[in-house]
Amino acid sequence: MKKSSKALLLLLLLAQSVTAWSELVIRVTQGNDKPTVVAVSPIALNGIRVKEDIGAIVEADLQRSGLFRATPRRDMLAFPAAAKDVYFRDWRILGTEYLIVGSMREIEDSRFELEFSLLNIRAQKTEFKHAVRGRANEMRDLAHLISDKVFQAITGIPGAFSTRIAYVTATRNNGKFTYRLNVSDADGAREKLMLESPEPIMSPSWAPDGKDLAYVSFETGRPAIFRQNLVSGVREQLTNFKGLNGAPSWSPDGRKMALVLSKDGNPEIYLLDLKSKKFTRLTRHFAIDTEPTWMDDGKHLLFTSDRGGTPQIYKLNIASKATQRLTFQGNYNARPSLAPDGRTLALVHRASGIFHIASFDLITRRLIELTETRLDESPTVAPNGAMLMYATKQGDRGVLAAVSLDAGVKYVLPARIGDVREPAWSPFLR
Q: Is the pLDDT of residue 20 over 50?
A: no
Give the full edge-to-edge strand order of the sheet including 245-250: 245-250, 256-261, 268-273, 279-281
Pairwise pLDDT comparison (101 vs 6), residue with the higher score? 101
End-to-end CA distance of the chain: 47
Interatomic CA distance for residues 225 and 2, integer angstroms: 27
Half-sphere exposure of 367 (CA within 13 A, CB side): 20
CATH architecture of residue range(s) 34-155? 3-Layer(aba) Sandwich (3.40)
Nearest to 380 by CA among 370, 371, 372, 390: 390
Segment 286-305, tens digit of pLDDT = 999 999 999 999 999 999 99
Q: Is the pLDDT of residue 344 over 80?
A: yes
Alpha helices in 76-235 (DSSP H): 88-93, 139-155
Segment 93-135, tens digit of pLDDT = 999 999 999 999 999 878 999 999 999 999 999 999 999 999 9
Q: Is the pLDDT of residue 19 over 70?
A: no
Which CATH homologous superfamily contains domain 3-24+161-425?
Answer: TolB, C-terminal domain (2.120.10.30)
pTM summary value: 0.89
Interatomic CA distance for residues 128 and 350, integer angstroms: 46
In this prediction, residues 271-283 reach a mean pLDDT of 97
Helix (H) or strand (E) holding 62: helix 54-64
Work out the pLDDT band at 353, boundaries 50, 70, 90. confident
| Strand stretches in 107-163, DSSP E | 112-120, 125-134
Domain with CATH 3.40.50.10070 in the chain: 34-155
Q: Is the pLDDT of residue 328 over 70?
A: yes
Pairwise pLDDT comparison (66 vs 139), residue with the higher score? 139
Q: Among 24-38, 61-75, 401-415, where is mean pLDDT lowest?
A: 24-38
Q: What percent of the chain has pLDDT over 90?
A: 76
Strand, coil or helix: what is 375?
A: coil
| Contact residues for 46 (Cβ-Cβ < 8 A; gap 6+) | 103, 104, 105
Domain with CATH 2.120.10.30 in the chain: 3-24+161-425
| Cα–Cα distances in angstroms (integers) from residue 85 to residues 75, 100, 139, 303, 413, in the given order | 17, 12, 24, 56, 38
Work out the pLDDT band at 372, boundaries 50, 70, 90. confident
Nearest to 205 by CA among 257, 162, 161: 257
| Cα–Cα distances in angstroms (integers) from residue 298 to residues 252, 271, 281, 413, in the given order | 6, 12, 16, 32
Length of the chain: 430
pLDDT score for 399: 84
DSSP string, 379-430: EEE-TTSSEEEEEEEETTEEEEEEEETTS--EEEE-BSSS--EEEEE-----
In this prediction, residues 65-80 reach a mean pLDDT of 94
Strand, coil or helix: what is 4?
A: helix
Q: Is the pLDDT of residue 317 over 90?
A: yes
β-bridge mates for residue 357, sequence order: 348
Work out the pLDDT band at 398, boundaries 50, 70, 90. confident
Segment 360-370, tens digit of pLDDT = 999 999 999 99
Q: Is the pLDDT of residue 92 over 90?
A: yes
